[in-house]
Amino acid sequence: MFSNPLIFAFSLTFLAGISTGIGSILCLLYKKFNPKFLGIMLGISAGVMLYVSFVEILTKAKLSLSSVFGEKLGYTYTLLGFFTGILIIILIDKILPHQHPDEKQSETHDQKLLRLGIFSALALSIHNFPEGLATFLSALENPTYGISIASAIAIHNIPEGIAVAIPIYYATKNRKKAFLYSFLSGLTEPIGALIGYFILLQFFDESIFGAIFAGVAGMMVYICINELIPTAKEYAGKKLSTYGIVFGMFIMAVSLALFI
């Protein structure tokens, strides 16, 4: 089974990464447009991203940075990375066009949803890159442990795929485009494994991993606060969108707890 450790480790990473596509498929099976369904799903996406950002990604960042710089300095660098990530996504928000210059009307719902989906795909792609490298290296070192890591990542990649696919589908009404964006956001995991192993591994250490994870946590939290939650409330109302957020947190909590 493990005769070629490289192929085995890469295959695990690839399968874990493309599971984002499973999340998009599950959502895209729902054919009829329903504003409340969209709002609830956006709420679930926000819950998933908030929970994984604070409970998993930011925790990993602090542990990595503290192992290099010590507890106090590691915590300080984690905070700097977190708010740097927020600043980066704010700058990207300014760069991405919201509407044509000659148009005076406010941004349409479709434009907002499309931008939201692109933001989610971008943040998750950056997050999945080092995650893919970590999965790959774990599988190389210990195939059994690698299976557990890859399974956990695959499970929590499914709701992350929802966060990308749903807004893009409802913005474009194009299932193929929604699936493609979702699929590609997960594909950065095996890409991260390949590039990291053959090119970047000699430069990567715990401090770089920590900084990347802290920045990604900031990006994802900002996307939730600025984009996902307000849009969810707009479509589903305060109560239903809040239920969606809580349910999204529950889904992610269970998926992480299964492989502790």
pLDDT in tens, 129-153: 777 877 787 677 677 767 766 776 7
Task: Give the number of domains in the chain.
Answer: 1
**Spatial separation of the C-alpha atoms in residues 16 and 8, rounded to whole Å:** 12
Is residue 3 included in any domain, yes or no? no
Which residues define the annotated binding site? 128, 131, 156-157, 160, 189
Question: Which pLDDT score, from 0 to 100, does residue 94 have?
Answer: 78
Ranking 76-80, 150-154, 186-190 by mean pLDDT, the lowest is 150-154
Output helix, strand, coil percentages for the chain, rounded to the nearest 5: 85, 0, 15
Is residue 43 included in any domain, yes or no? yes
Is residue 15 included in any domain, yes or no? yes
Is residue 145 included in any domain, yes or no? yes
Question: Which pLDDT score, from 0 to 100, does residue 175 have?
Answer: 84
Is residue 250 included in any domain, yes or no? yes
pLDDT at 200 over 70: no
Tell me the angle at which helices 35-51 and 143-172 cross, rounded to the nearest 10 degrees: 150
Which residues define the annotated binding site for Fe(2+)? 128, 131, 157, 160, 189
The pLDDT confidence band at residue 172, using thresholds 50, 70 and 90, is confident
Which residues define the annotated binding site for Zn(2+)? 131, 156, 160
Is residue 2 included in any domain, yes or no? no
Domain span including residue 122: 8-27+35-98+108-258
- For 145, the 3-state DSSP assignment is helix
Is residue 103 included in any domain, yes or no? no
Ranking 20-24, 85-89, 131-135, 212-216 by mean pLDDT, the lowest is 131-135
**Mean pLDDT for the stretch of residues 238-254:** 92
What tokens does 30 get? 């729902």
Q: Which residue has the higher pLDDT, 67 or 101?
A: 67
Q: Is the pTM of this model over 0.85?
A: no
Q: Which residue has the higher pLDDT, 259 or 94?
A: 94
pLDDT in tens, 34-70: 788 878 888 988 898 898 889 988 998 999 999 999 9
